[in-house]
Structure 1
Amino acid sequence: MATLSEAQTSDPLVAVVSGGASGIGAAAAAALTARGVRVAALDLTPDEVAAPAVGIACDVSDDASVRGAVAEAVERFGRIDIVVNNAGIAAQGTVADNDDEEWRRVLDVNVVGMVRLARAALPYLRRSPAAAIVNTCSVFAAMGVPRRVLYSASKGAVHSLTLAMATDHVREGIRVNAVAPGAVDTPWIQRVLARTADPRAERDALNDRHPLGRLARPEEVGEAIAYLAVDASGTTGTVLAVDGGIHDLRL
Protein backbone atom coordinates (compact mmCIF):
# COMPACT_ATOMS: atom_id res chain seq x y z
CA MET A 1 0.00 0.00 0.00
CA ALA A 2 1.39 3.39 -0.93
CA THR A 3 1.70 5.88 1.90
CA LEU A 4 -0.16 9.15 1.88
CA SER A 5 3.07 11.11 1.46
CA GLU A 6 3.79 9.13 -1.68
CA ALA A 7 0.29 9.83 -2.96
CA GLN A 8 0.68 13.54 -2.32
CA THR A 9 3.62 13.74 -4.70
CA SER A 10 1.25 13.05 -7.60
CA ASP A 11 -2.09 14.58 -8.56
CA PRO A 12 -4.55 15.71 -5.86
CA LEU A 13 -6.79 13.09 -4.36
CA VAL A 14 -10.45 13.00 -5.41
CA ALA A 15 -13.37 12.27 -3.10
CA VAL A 16 -17.03 11.55 -3.70
CA VAL A 17 -19.27 12.53 -0.78
CA SER A 18 -22.89 11.39 -0.74
CA GLY A 19 -25.35 13.75 0.87
CA GLY A 20 -22.78 16.47 0.29
CA ALA A 21 -25.07 19.49 -0.06
CA SER A 22 -25.79 20.09 3.63
CA GLY A 23 -25.10 19.07 7.19
CA ILE A 24 -22.35 16.55 7.86
CA GLY A 25 -21.78 15.91 4.14
CA ALA A 26 -21.16 19.59 3.39
CA ALA A 27 -18.85 19.83 6.39
CA ALA A 28 -16.92 16.77 5.23
CA ALA A 29 -16.60 18.24 1.74
CA ALA A 30 -15.21 21.46 3.21
CA ALA A 31 -12.74 19.63 5.46
CA LEU A 32 -11.51 17.50 2.57
CA THR A 33 -11.14 20.55 0.34
CA ALA A 34 -9.05 22.21 3.03
CA ARG A 35 -6.69 19.23 2.78
CA GLY A 36 -6.27 19.72 -0.96
CA VAL A 37 -8.76 17.04 -2.00
CA ARG A 38 -11.01 17.67 -4.99
CA VAL A 39 -14.60 16.85 -4.06
CA ALA A 40 -17.63 15.68 -5.99
CA ALA A 41 -20.65 16.12 -3.72
CA LEU A 42 -23.41 13.69 -4.69
CA ASP A 43 -26.85 14.84 -3.66
CA LEU A 44 -30.52 14.97 -4.61
CA THR A 45 -30.07 18.77 -4.74
CA PRO A 46 -26.69 19.28 -6.46
CA ASP A 47 -27.40 22.97 -7.06
CA GLU A 48 -27.12 23.52 -3.30
CA VAL A 49 -23.55 22.20 -3.10
CA ALA A 50 -21.10 24.86 -1.96
CA ALA A 51 -18.07 25.58 -4.17
CA PRO A 52 -15.35 24.54 -4.66
CA ALA A 53 -17.00 21.12 -4.36
CA VAL A 54 -18.77 20.09 -7.54
CA GLY A 55 -22.41 19.06 -7.20
CA ILE A 56 -23.56 15.92 -9.02
CA ALA A 57 -27.14 14.65 -8.95
CA CYS A 58 -27.45 11.30 -7.23
CA ASP A 59 -30.14 9.20 -5.56
CA VAL A 60 -28.43 6.51 -3.48
CA SER A 61 -31.60 4.41 -3.54
CA ASP A 62 -31.22 3.98 -7.32
CA ASP A 63 -28.29 1.91 -8.56
CA ALA A 64 -28.33 3.47 -12.04
CA SER A 65 -28.25 6.95 -10.51
CA VAL A 66 -25.29 6.01 -8.30
CA ARG A 67 -23.34 4.48 -11.16
CA GLY A 68 -24.07 7.48 -13.34
CA ALA A 69 -22.88 9.88 -10.63
CA VAL A 70 -19.67 7.93 -10.12
CA ALA A 71 -19.04 7.89 -13.88
CA GLU A 72 -19.62 11.65 -14.02
CA ALA A 73 -17.16 12.22 -11.18
CA VAL A 74 -14.53 10.11 -12.92
CA GLU A 75 -15.15 11.88 -16.22
CA ARG A 76 -14.65 15.23 -14.52
CA PHE A 77 -11.71 14.39 -12.24
CA GLY A 78 -10.17 11.28 -13.80
CA ARG A 79 -10.05 9.23 -10.61
CA ILE A 80 -11.65 8.43 -7.25
CA ASP A 81 -9.54 7.94 -4.14
CA ILE A 82 -12.02 8.53 -1.32
CA VAL A 83 -15.65 7.57 -0.80
CA VAL A 84 -17.62 9.24 1.98
CA ASN A 85 -20.84 7.30 2.47
CA ASN A 86 -22.85 9.95 4.27
CA ALA A 87 -26.33 10.09 2.69
CA GLY A 88 -29.00 8.84 5.05
CA ILE A 89 -32.48 9.43 6.40
CA ALA A 90 -33.93 9.40 9.89
CA ALA A 91 -36.77 7.42 11.42
CA GLN A 92 -38.63 7.62 14.70
CA GLY A 93 -40.82 5.21 16.62
CA THR A 94 -40.82 1.89 18.41
CA VAL A 95 -40.85 -1.48 16.66
CA ALA A 96 -44.65 -1.18 16.49
CA ASP A 97 -44.71 2.19 14.74
CA ASN A 98 -43.08 1.67 11.33
CA ASP A 99 -44.62 -0.54 8.65
CA ASP A 100 -42.73 -2.84 6.30
CA GLU A 101 -42.49 -0.20 3.60
CA GLU A 102 -40.82 2.28 5.96
CA TRP A 103 -38.35 -0.37 7.09
CA ARG A 104 -37.49 -1.12 3.48
CA ARG A 105 -37.15 2.59 2.63
CA VAL A 106 -34.81 3.45 5.50
CA LEU A 107 -32.64 0.36 5.19
CA ASP A 108 -32.46 0.85 1.42
CA VAL A 109 -31.07 4.36 1.80
CA ASN A 110 -29.00 4.02 4.98
CA VAL A 111 -27.44 0.62 4.30
CA VAL A 112 -27.87 -0.50 0.71
CA GLY A 113 -27.22 3.05 -0.48
CA MET A 114 -23.73 2.79 1.01
CA VAL A 115 -23.24 -0.56 -0.68
CA ARG A 116 -24.25 0.89 -4.05
CA LEU A 117 -21.78 3.77 -3.86
CA ALA A 118 -18.88 1.69 -2.55
CA ARG A 119 -19.54 -0.99 -5.18
CA ALA A 120 -19.62 1.52 -8.02
CA ALA A 121 -16.43 3.24 -6.85
CA LEU A 122 -14.49 0.07 -6.03
CA PRO A 123 -12.76 -0.33 -9.44
CA TYR A 124 -11.35 3.19 -9.12
CA LEU A 125 -10.38 2.80 -5.46
CA ARG A 126 -8.36 -0.28 -6.39
CA ARG A 127 -6.20 1.94 -8.64
CA SER A 128 -5.63 4.61 -5.98
CA PRO A 129 -2.39 4.95 -4.00
CA ALA A 130 -4.37 6.19 -0.98
CA ALA A 131 -7.83 4.62 -1.16
CA ALA A 132 -10.26 5.14 1.71
CA ILE A 133 -13.94 4.71 2.48
CA VAL A 134 -15.56 6.48 5.43
CA ASN A 135 -19.11 5.59 6.41
CA THR A 136 -21.34 7.79 8.56
CA CYS A 137 -22.58 5.52 11.32
CA SER A 138 -24.09 6.65 14.64
CA VAL A 139 -23.45 6.13 18.32
CA PHE A 140 -27.06 4.90 18.37
CA ALA A 141 -25.77 1.71 16.75
CA ALA A 142 -24.32 0.70 20.11
CA MET A 143 -26.75 2.14 22.67
CA GLY A 144 -30.47 1.95 23.35
CA VAL A 145 -32.30 5.18 22.59
CA PRO A 146 -36.08 5.57 22.94
CA ARG A 147 -38.15 5.54 19.74
CA ARG A 148 -35.22 5.08 17.37
CA VAL A 149 -35.44 1.33 16.68
CA LEU A 150 -35.43 1.53 12.88
CA TYR A 151 -32.76 4.20 12.66
CA SER A 152 -30.60 2.41 15.25
CA ALA A 153 -30.96 -0.89 13.41
CA SER A 154 -29.85 0.73 10.15
CA LYS A 155 -26.78 2.23 11.82
CA GLY A 156 -25.99 -1.04 13.55
CA ALA A 157 -25.86 -2.54 10.07
CA VAL A 158 -23.51 0.26 8.96
CA HIS A 159 -21.20 -0.54 11.88
CA SER A 160 -21.01 -4.20 10.85
CA LEU A 161 -20.74 -3.27 7.18
CA THR A 162 -17.73 -1.09 7.95
CA LEU A 163 -15.83 -3.84 9.74
CA ALA A 164 -16.65 -6.46 7.10
CA MET A 165 -15.62 -4.16 4.24
CA ALA A 166 -12.41 -3.25 6.04
CA THR A 167 -11.57 -6.95 6.28
CA ASP A 168 -12.42 -7.68 2.66
CA HIS A 169 -10.39 -4.85 1.15
CA VAL A 170 -7.45 -4.25 3.48
CA ARG A 171 -5.13 -6.38 1.33
CA GLU A 172 -6.15 -4.32 -1.71
CA GLY A 173 -4.90 -1.17 -0.02
CA ILE A 174 -8.37 0.22 0.68
CA ARG A 175 -8.95 1.48 4.21
CA VAL A 176 -12.53 1.42 5.52
CA ASN A 177 -13.57 3.31 8.66
CA ALA A 178 -16.63 5.05 10.05
CA VAL A 179 -17.58 7.97 12.24
CA ALA A 180 -20.26 7.54 14.90
CA PRO A 181 -21.78 10.89 15.86
CA GLY A 182 -24.24 11.47 18.65
CA ALA A 183 -26.85 14.15 18.04
CA VAL A 184 -25.47 16.73 15.60
CA ASP A 185 -26.76 20.28 15.17
CA THR A 186 -27.84 19.79 11.56
CA PRO A 187 -30.84 21.24 9.71
CA TRP A 188 -32.69 17.95 10.35
CA ILE A 189 -32.29 18.29 14.14
CA GLN A 190 -33.35 21.92 13.92
CA ARG A 191 -36.53 20.91 12.06
CA VAL A 192 -37.32 18.22 14.62
CA LEU A 193 -36.90 20.67 17.50
CA ALA A 194 -39.03 23.28 15.75
CA ARG A 195 -41.96 20.86 15.70
CA THR A 196 -41.95 20.38 19.49
CA ALA A 197 -44.13 22.32 21.94
CA ASP A 198 -41.10 24.05 23.50
CA PRO A 199 -38.10 23.98 21.10
CA ARG A 200 -35.79 25.79 23.52
CA ALA A 201 -36.51 23.38 26.37
CA GLU A 202 -36.10 20.40 24.04
CA ARG A 203 -32.74 21.72 22.82
CA ASP A 204 -31.57 22.28 26.40
CA ALA A 205 -32.59 18.73 27.30
CA LEU A 206 -30.79 17.34 24.26
CA ASN A 207 -27.66 19.30 25.10
CA ASP A 208 -27.78 18.05 28.70
CA ARG A 209 -27.82 14.41 27.55
CA HIS A 210 -24.31 14.90 26.16
CA PRO A 211 -21.56 15.02 28.82
CA LEU A 212 -19.83 17.74 26.81
CA GLY A 213 -22.94 19.84 27.38
CA ARG A 214 -23.91 20.40 23.75
CA LEU A 215 -24.64 18.77 20.44
CA ALA A 216 -21.78 18.11 18.08
CA ARG A 217 -21.28 20.62 15.29
CA PRO A 218 -21.32 19.35 11.70
CA GLU A 219 -17.81 20.76 11.24
CA GLU A 220 -16.51 18.53 14.03
CA VAL A 221 -17.88 15.42 12.39
CA GLY A 222 -16.64 16.62 8.99
CA GLU A 223 -13.14 17.01 10.39
CA ALA A 224 -13.28 13.47 11.80
CA ILE A 225 -14.33 12.14 8.40
CA ALA A 226 -11.50 13.99 6.65
CA TYR A 227 -9.03 12.76 9.28
CA LEU A 228 -9.99 9.13 8.66
CA ALA A 229 -10.01 9.63 4.89
CA VAL A 230 -6.72 11.50 4.50
CA ASP A 231 -4.63 11.78 7.65
CA ALA A 232 -5.08 8.40 9.37
CA SER A 233 -3.15 6.37 6.82
CA GLY A 234 -2.45 3.59 9.33
CA THR A 235 -6.05 3.20 10.46
CA THR A 236 -8.68 0.78 9.16
CA GLY A 237 -11.64 -1.01 10.71
CA THR A 238 -12.22 1.79 13.22
CA VAL A 239 -15.52 3.40 14.20
CA LEU A 240 -14.64 6.81 15.62
CA ALA A 241 -17.15 8.31 18.07
CA VAL A 242 -17.82 12.04 17.78
CA ASP A 243 -20.55 12.07 20.36
CA GLY A 244 -19.73 14.47 23.17
CA GLY A 245 -19.12 11.47 25.43
CA ILE A 246 -22.74 10.28 25.38
CA HIS A 247 -21.88 6.63 24.78
CA ASP A 248 -19.18 5.97 27.37
CA LEU A 249 -19.34 8.74 29.99
CA ARG A 250 -21.74 8.81 32.93
CA LEU A 251 -21.61 12.03 34.92
Structure 2
Amino acid sequence: MDLQLAGRVALVTGASKGIGLAVVRTLLEEGAKVVAASRKTSPELDALAGPNLSHVAVDLTDPAAPAQAVEHAVRTFGALDILVNNAGGPPPGVTLPRFGFLTPDDEDWARMFDFNLFAVVRAIRAALPHLLASDAAAIVNVSTGMAHVPAPMNVDYSAAKAALNNLTLALSEEYGPQGVRVNVVSPGAVRTAWWTEEGGAADVMAAAFGTDRDTVMDSAAPEMMKMVTGRLVEPQEVADTVVQLVSPRAASTTGAEFAVDGGFTKHI
Protein backbone atom coordinates (compact mmCIF):
# COMPACT_ATOMS: atom_id res chain seq x y z
CA MET A 1 0.00 0.00 0.00
CA ASP A 2 1.31 3.44 -0.94
CA LEU A 3 0.83 5.63 2.15
CA GLN A 4 1.21 8.79 0.05
CA LEU A 5 3.88 10.18 2.35
CA ALA A 6 6.56 10.89 -0.27
CA GLY A 7 7.80 14.45 0.16
CA ARG A 8 5.80 15.09 3.33
CA VAL A 9 7.69 16.75 6.20
CA ALA A 10 7.47 15.17 9.64
CA LEU A 11 8.80 16.11 13.07
CA VAL A 12 9.24 13.19 15.48
CA THR A 13 10.19 13.74 19.11
CA GLY A 14 12.03 11.20 21.25
CA ALA A 15 13.50 10.01 17.97
CA SER A 16 16.87 8.51 18.88
CA LYS A 17 15.66 5.14 20.14
CA GLY A 18 12.67 2.89 20.74
CA ILE A 19 9.33 3.84 19.24
CA GLY A 20 10.56 7.19 17.96
CA LEU A 21 13.46 5.64 16.09
CA ALA A 22 11.12 3.07 14.52
CA VAL A 23 8.75 5.87 13.44
CA VAL A 24 11.61 7.81 11.87
CA ARG A 25 12.85 4.76 10.00
CA THR A 26 9.39 3.89 8.71
CA LEU A 27 8.63 7.44 7.58
CA LEU A 28 11.92 7.54 5.69
CA GLU A 29 11.09 4.23 4.03
CA GLU A 30 7.81 5.79 2.88
CA GLY A 31 9.64 8.72 1.29
CA ALA A 32 8.95 11.39 3.91
CA LYS A 33 11.40 14.05 5.03
CA VAL A 34 11.98 13.73 8.75
CA VAL A 35 13.32 15.91 11.51
CA ALA A 36 14.33 13.70 14.43
CA ALA A 37 14.25 15.57 17.73
CA SER A 38 16.07 14.21 20.78
CA ARG A 39 18.56 15.33 23.39
CA LYS A 40 21.31 13.51 21.54
CA THR A 41 21.62 11.24 18.56
CA SER A 42 22.35 7.51 18.63
CA PRO A 43 24.26 5.07 16.45
CA GLU A 44 20.95 3.64 15.22
CA LEU A 45 19.69 7.08 14.23
CA ASP A 46 23.01 8.02 12.64
CA ALA A 47 22.76 4.88 10.51
CA LEU A 48 19.67 6.38 8.84
CA ALA A 49 21.53 9.51 7.71
CA GLY A 50 20.64 10.89 4.31
CA PRO A 51 19.18 13.93 2.55
CA ASN A 52 15.70 13.32 3.97
CA LEU A 53 16.78 13.16 7.63
CA SER A 54 17.86 15.99 9.92
CA HIS A 55 18.54 15.69 13.63
CA VAL A 56 17.86 18.55 16.03
CA ALA A 57 19.34 18.32 19.52
CA VAL A 58 16.74 19.60 21.98
CA ASP A 59 15.78 18.89 25.57
CA LEU A 60 12.00 19.02 25.67
CA THR A 61 12.03 19.84 29.37
CA ASP A 62 13.25 23.28 28.22
CA PRO A 63 10.08 25.30 27.47
CA ALA A 64 11.74 26.84 24.40
CA ALA A 65 12.79 23.50 22.89
CA PRO A 66 9.56 22.41 21.14
CA ALA A 67 9.37 25.66 19.17
CA GLN A 68 13.05 25.33 18.28
CA ALA A 69 12.42 21.86 16.87
CA VAL A 70 9.48 23.10 14.81
CA GLU A 71 11.51 26.03 13.50
CA HIS A 72 14.33 23.66 12.56
CA ALA A 73 11.93 21.49 10.56
CA VAL A 74 10.47 24.41 8.62
CA ARG A 75 13.88 25.98 8.06
CA THR A 76 15.38 22.69 6.85
CA PHE A 77 12.58 21.33 4.67
CA GLY A 78 10.37 24.36 4.05
CA ALA A 79 7.13 23.10 5.60
CA LEU A 80 5.60 20.86 8.24
CA ASP A 81 2.87 18.31 7.56
CA ILE A 82 3.21 15.81 10.40
CA LEU A 83 3.93 16.03 14.11
CA VAL A 84 4.53 12.88 16.14
CA ASN A 85 4.73 13.64 19.86
CA ASN A 86 6.50 10.48 20.93
CA ALA A 87 8.82 11.77 23.67
CA GLY A 88 7.51 10.82 27.09
CA GLY A 89 7.79 8.37 29.91
CA PRO A 90 10.30 8.98 32.69
CA PRO A 91 11.71 12.52 32.58
CA PRO A 92 15.48 12.65 32.14
CA GLY A 93 17.17 11.22 35.21
CA VAL A 94 14.03 9.48 36.52
CA THR A 95 13.58 5.72 36.74
CA LEU A 96 10.18 4.08 36.61
CA PRO A 97 8.27 2.21 37.92
CA ARG A 98 7.55 4.02 41.17
CA PHE A 99 5.27 2.24 43.61
CA GLY A 100 2.57 3.96 45.65
CA PHE A 101 0.76 7.30 45.52
CA LEU A 102 2.91 8.86 48.26
CA THR A 103 6.21 8.09 46.55
CA PRO A 104 6.30 10.98 44.03
CA ASP A 105 6.41 14.43 45.63
CA ASP A 106 5.29 17.76 44.17
CA GLU A 107 8.47 18.14 42.15
CA ASP A 108 8.08 14.63 40.73
CA TRP A 109 4.50 15.37 39.69
CA ALA A 110 5.51 18.68 38.10
CA ARG A 111 8.38 17.10 36.15
CA MET A 112 6.17 14.25 34.97
CA PHE A 113 3.45 16.56 33.67
CA ASP A 114 5.97 18.94 32.15
CA PHE A 115 7.59 16.18 30.10
CA ASN A 116 4.51 14.14 29.18
CA LEU A 117 1.90 16.88 28.75
CA PHE A 118 3.22 20.43 28.67
CA ALA A 119 6.03 19.66 26.21
CA VAL A 120 3.37 18.27 23.87
CA VAL A 121 1.21 21.37 24.37
CA ARG A 122 4.18 23.56 23.47
CA ALA A 123 5.07 21.50 20.40
CA ILE A 124 1.52 21.57 19.06
CA ARG A 125 1.20 25.29 19.75
CA ALA A 126 4.35 25.95 17.73
CA ALA A 127 3.45 23.53 14.93
CA LEU A 128 -0.16 24.53 14.31
CA PRO A 129 0.46 27.59 12.10
CA HIS A 130 2.49 25.40 9.75
CA LEU A 131 0.16 22.41 9.93
CA LEU A 132 -2.79 24.64 9.05
CA ALA A 133 -0.96 25.55 5.83
CA SER A 134 -0.64 21.88 4.86
CA ASP A 135 -3.18 20.08 2.66
CA ALA A 136 -2.80 16.85 4.67
CA ALA A 137 -1.80 17.69 8.22
CA ALA A 138 -1.71 15.13 11.00
CA ILE A 139 -0.70 14.94 14.65
CA VAL A 140 -0.22 11.70 16.55
CA ASN A 141 0.32 11.78 20.30
CA VAL A 142 1.87 8.69 21.86
CA SER A 143 0.15 7.87 25.15
CA THR A 144 -0.15 4.62 27.12
CA GLY A 145 -2.76 2.06 28.04
CA MET A 146 -2.05 2.99 31.66
CA ALA A 147 -4.10 6.14 31.08
CA HIS A 148 -7.14 3.83 31.15
CA VAL A 149 -5.97 1.33 33.77
CA PRO A 150 -5.34 3.21 37.03
CA ALA A 151 -3.03 1.44 39.47
CA PRO A 152 -0.92 2.35 42.50
CA MET A 153 2.20 2.32 40.32
CA ASN A 154 3.40 5.23 38.16
CA VAL A 155 0.29 7.12 39.22
CA ASP A 156 1.73 10.50 38.14
CA TYR A 157 2.68 9.14 34.72
CA SER A 158 -0.74 7.58 34.15
CA ALA A 159 -2.48 10.82 35.14
CA ALA A 160 -0.32 12.88 32.78
CA LYS A 161 -1.11 10.56 29.88
CA ALA A 162 -4.84 10.60 30.68
CA ALA A 163 -4.63 14.38 30.35
CA LEU A 164 -2.83 13.94 27.02
CA ASN A 165 -5.70 11.77 25.75
CA ASN A 166 -8.19 14.47 26.73
CA LEU A 167 -6.08 17.09 24.96
CA THR A 168 -6.02 14.96 21.82
CA LEU A 169 -9.81 14.81 21.65
CA ALA A 170 -10.17 18.54 22.26
CA LEU A 171 -7.69 19.34 19.50
CA SER A 172 -9.38 16.98 17.05
CA GLU A 173 -12.69 18.73 17.66
CA GLU A 174 -11.28 22.22 17.16
CA TYR A 175 -8.86 21.64 14.30
CA GLY A 176 -10.43 18.76 12.38
CA PRO A 177 -12.68 21.19 10.46
CA GLN A 178 -9.54 23.14 9.58
CA GLY A 179 -7.78 20.15 8.07
CA VAL A 180 -5.57 18.99 10.95
CA ARG A 181 -6.26 15.43 12.10
CA VAL A 182 -5.27 14.53 15.67
CA ASN A 183 -5.12 10.98 16.97
CA VAL A 184 -3.52 9.09 19.85
CA VAL A 185 -1.70 5.76 19.92
CA SER A 186 -1.56 3.98 23.28
CA PRO A 187 1.07 1.26 23.61
CA GLY A 188 1.30 -1.25 26.39
CA ALA A 189 4.68 -2.32 27.72
CA VAL A 190 7.12 -1.93 24.82
CA ARG A 191 10.57 -3.50 24.66
CA THR A 192 12.47 -0.22 24.70
CA ALA A 193 15.36 1.21 26.71
CA TRP A 194 12.86 2.14 29.44
CA TRP A 195 12.75 -1.60 30.18
CA THR A 196 16.03 -2.93 28.83
CA GLU A 197 18.73 -0.49 29.93
CA GLU A 198 20.73 -1.21 33.07
CA GLY A 199 18.85 0.07 36.09
CA GLY A 200 15.65 0.42 34.07
CA ALA A 201 12.16 -0.92 34.66
CA ALA A 202 13.14 -4.58 34.27
CA ASP A 203 15.78 -4.28 36.97
CA VAL A 204 13.49 -2.33 39.30
CA MET A 205 10.73 -4.90 38.97
CA ALA A 206 13.16 -7.82 39.28
CA ALA A 207 14.36 -6.44 42.61
CA ALA A 208 10.80 -5.81 43.80
CA PHE A 209 9.51 -9.27 42.89
CA GLY A 210 12.59 -11.37 43.61
CA THR A 211 13.35 -12.51 40.09
CA ASP A 212 15.73 -11.58 37.25
CA ARG A 213 15.43 -8.96 34.51
CA ASP A 214 14.99 -11.45 31.65
CA THR A 215 12.16 -13.21 33.44
CA VAL A 216 10.48 -9.83 34.00
CA MET A 217 10.58 -8.94 30.32
CA ASP A 218 9.91 -12.39 28.91
CA SER A 219 7.05 -13.46 31.17
CA ALA A 220 6.48 -11.68 34.50
CA ALA A 221 5.58 -8.23 33.14
CA PRO A 222 3.27 -9.52 30.37
CA GLU A 223 1.56 -11.79 32.89
CA MET A 224 1.16 -9.05 35.50
CA MET A 225 -0.33 -6.72 32.88
CA LYS A 226 -2.54 -9.49 31.47
CA MET A 227 -1.19 -8.97 27.96
CA VAL A 228 -2.98 -11.69 26.06
CA THR A 229 -0.17 -12.02 23.51
CA GLY A 230 2.13 -13.05 26.36
CA ARG A 231 4.99 -10.76 25.34
CA LEU A 232 6.12 -7.15 25.32
CA VAL A 233 5.23 -5.06 22.30
CA GLU A 234 7.96 -4.38 19.74
CA PRO A 235 8.64 -0.71 18.85
CA GLN A 236 8.04 -1.37 15.16
CA GLU A 237 4.52 -2.56 15.90
CA VAL A 238 3.70 0.81 17.43
CA ALA A 239 5.48 2.70 14.65
CA ASP A 240 3.44 0.95 11.96
CA THR A 241 0.22 2.25 13.51
CA VAL A 242 1.61 5.76 13.97
CA VAL A 243 2.73 6.00 10.36
CA GLN A 244 -0.57 4.71 9.03
CA LEU A 245 -2.39 7.38 11.05
CA VAL A 246 -0.29 10.25 9.70
CA SER A 247 -0.83 9.05 6.15
CA PRO A 248 -3.40 10.74 3.89
CA ARG A 249 -4.84 7.24 3.48
CA ALA A 250 -6.30 7.77 6.98
CA ALA A 251 -7.98 11.02 5.97
CA SER A 252 -11.23 10.27 7.82
CA THR A 253 -9.61 9.14 11.05
CA THR A 254 -9.39 11.82 13.73
CA GLY A 255 -10.12 12.01 17.43
CA ALA A 256 -9.44 8.28 17.71
CA GLU A 257 -7.31 6.20 20.03
CA PHE A 258 -5.51 3.08 18.85
CA ALA A 259 -4.24 0.54 21.38
CA VAL A 260 -1.09 -1.35 20.46
CA ASP A 261 -0.73 -3.15 23.75
CA GLY A 262 -0.97 -6.90 23.35
CA GLY A 263 -4.47 -6.86 24.81
CA PHE A 264 -3.52 -5.02 28.02
CA THR A 265 -6.38 -2.51 27.86
CA LYS A 266 -9.76 -4.19 28.20
CA HIS A 267 -12.74 -1.86 28.17
CA ILE A 268 -15.76 -1.03 26.05
Q: 1:63 & 1:201 partners in 2: Cα distance?
A: 39
Q: TM-score, normalised by structure 1?
A: 0.91
Q: How many angstroms does 1:211 deviate by?
A: 0.2
Distance 1:32 1:210 in 2: 28
SS in 1 for 2:34: strand
Unaligned runs of 5+ in 1: none
Question: Which 10-residue stretch deviates more, 182-191 or 63-72?
Answer: 63-72
Find 2:188's aligned residue among 173, 179, 182: 182
Deviations 1:155-199 (Å, cap 9, x if unpaired)?
101110110111110111000001000000001111321342411
Matched, 1:38 2:47: no
1:92-117 CA distances to partner (integer Å, 9 max, x unpaired)?
23221101011000100100000111
2:221 aligned to which of 197, 202, 206: 206
Deviation of 1:63 (Å): 2.8
- Which amino acid in structure 1 is aligned with residue 213 of structure 2? P
Structure 1 position 72 matched with structure 2 position 67: no
| Matching residue within 98, 103, 124 for 2:109 | 103
The secondary structure found in structure 1 opposite 2:64 is helix
The alpha-carbon deviation at position 69 of structure 1 amounts to 1.9
Residue of structure 1 aligned with 2:241, choices 209, 220, 224? 224
CA distance in 1 between counterparts of 2:215 and 2:57 reads 38
Is 1:93 the counterpart of 2:102? The answer is no
**Residue 125 (structure 1) aligned with residue 131 (structure 2):** yes
2: distance between equivalents of 1:95 and 1:248?
A: 23
RMSD (CA atoms): 1.9
2:160 aligned residue: 154
Q: Distance in 1 between matches of 2:134 and 2:74?
A: 13
Aligned mates of 2:266, 2:176 — CA distance in 1: 29
TM-score normalized with structure 2 length: 0.85
Residues of 2 paired with 1:58 and 1:83: CA distance?
A: 15
Q: Give the match's secondary structure for 1:129.
A: coil
Letter of the aligned partner of 2:7 in structure 1? P
CA contact (8 A) 1:42 1:56 kept: yes
Q: Hey, what's the Cα distance between the residues in 1 that align with 2:42 and 2:259?
A: 31
**Which segments of 5 or more consecutive residues in structure 2 lack a partner in the other structure?**
91-95
Identity %: 38
Is residue 17–residue 42 contact of structure 2 (8 Å, CA) maintained in 1?
A: no
